[in-house]
Amino acid sequence: MDHPITFPLQFAHGSSTGASQSPQVSVIICTRNRADSLRVTLQALAAADRRGIRVEVVVVDNAGNDSARQVVESFASQFSVRYLYQPVTGIFGKSHALNCALDAGGLGELIVILDDDISVDPDWFLQLAAISARWPQMDIFTGTTYVVWPAGPVPAWASPPRIQTLILSAACFGPTDTELQGGQWCVGGHFWFRSRVLQHRPRFPDCWATEPVFQLDLAELGFRSVACPQARAGHRVQHALLDRRAALERARKTGRDVAWVRLQPFRTRVKQARMLRDHPWFGRLFCLVNYLRWRASSLLSIFYPSGSARFERRLLAAERMTMYLELYRAASTLPEYSLRARRPTAHPRGSSPASSKA
């Protein structure tokens, strides 16, 4: 197996970035041939208020061949930085890059996963620290992720919040702190967790939805998640995501992946998995009825008054139809959801890490 290559860089001096102490917050950013976008993300981190917080940024270059290393080195005077090169390529290379950062070790008490097209707000570090202190019993966190539009006109169909969540990786779980339950997860490009979860040696699996699976695996062990709106960061949307054909394909891909993530493997804390295992006939009927409902909604969209409204409905229907159809297919394929499977009288629960949190 190829090993990651580490290029140690000089740390900046100061109370929040000194190298003499271990970091309190480690921000992991995976990138591949997007040096310009990476630079904008690092600029936002450098401009954010980090007073009283020892911050480290770990950039993992996922088999890229651009100037990412030079970009990282240019920020070495502003905060602690590490550059890791991860040579494994493939469709799901990001999972290898994330695991590379975990394997490198030396991470802080709070470990942040941030995409290379995210710009954090000026008070983001302060809010991250405040949220984590406010919820000592919680292990996984996220904030608000809003859309930063590219230059040029924005199509009207992309404006509704539901579409931004579905297609543009935006998320706001509500105006107040909200605990995530029943198979919910934090946005993959903007979340953080406490280092204590690493005692279970979690891994990012080799799949497109690697961050949701990582979080659901931790939830099955008893770790808890909370979404808090105060920590805000913007997702800088690329023009390609605003193409109608690309948006439809992304909606269908999201539906497919969400279905399989929720059912494989079986997890007691995912409500769809429990329904389809414990009530297999009702669960299949539920999936089919909802598939037909959203198919009808898609067909009826021709009566919407504007083209943007019609396409918005088509996008929502495409994701929902695909998800319910894939839930039905997965339940018909995976043995734990078989109609003939024996149902235990009690659900085994994942071992709780509560005893190790003291």
Rounded CA separation 30/63 (Å): 10
**3-state DSSP of 254-275:** HHHHHHHHHHCCCCCCCHHHHH
Residue 349 falls within a domain, yes or no?
A: no
Does 252 lie in the same domain as 193? no
- Look at residues 193, 225, 242 and tell me which one is the last residue of a structural domain: 242
CA angle 276, 217, 184 (to 5 degrees): 60
Paired tokens of 82: 């590490």
Residue 344 resides in a domain: no
Same domain, 116 and 260: no
Q: Is the pLDDT of residue 300 over 60?
A: yes
Residue 350 lies in a domain: no
Residues 256 and 233 in one domain: no
Q: What is the pLDDT of residues 44-53, one digit of tens each?
A: 999 999 999 9
Q: Please report which confidence band the pLDDT of residue 349 belongs to, taking 50, 70 and 90 as the band edges.
A: very low
Same domain (yes/no): 37, 170: yes
Tell me, yes or no, whether 45 and 181 share the same domain: yes
On whether both 91 and 118 belong to a single domain, the answer is yes
Strands of 104-189 (E only): list them: 110-115, 118-120, 140-148, 178-180
Kindly state the average pLDDT of the residues 212-221. Answer: 96
Same domain, 159 and 270: no
Residue 210 and residue 306 in one domain:
no
67: in domain: yes
- Asked if residue 293 has pLDDT above 90, the reply is yes
pTM: predicted TM-score of the whole model, two decimal places: 0.88
Structural domain includes residue 295: yes
Domain co-membership, 258 together with 225: no
- State whether 255 and 216 are in the same domain: no
Last residue of a domain, one of 226, 242, 258: 242
Mean pLDDT over 9-36 rounds to 70
Report the mean per-residue pLDDT for the chain: 89
Pairing of strands 140-148, 225-236: parallel
Where do we find the tokens 């279970």? 200
238 lies in the same domain as 252: no
Q: In this structure, is residue 347 part of a structural domain?
A: no
CA angle 184, 251, 40 (to 5 degrees): 80
Q: How confident is the model at residue 117 (pLDDT cuts 50, 70, 90)?
A: very high
Domain hosting 272: range is 247-337
**Tens of pLDDT, residues 154-176:** 999 999 999 999 899 999 888 99
- 237 with 258, same domain? no
Count of domains in the chain?
2
Dihedral sign (CA 154, 158, 160, 166)? negative
Q: What is the CATH number of the domain that holds 35?
A: 3.90.550.10
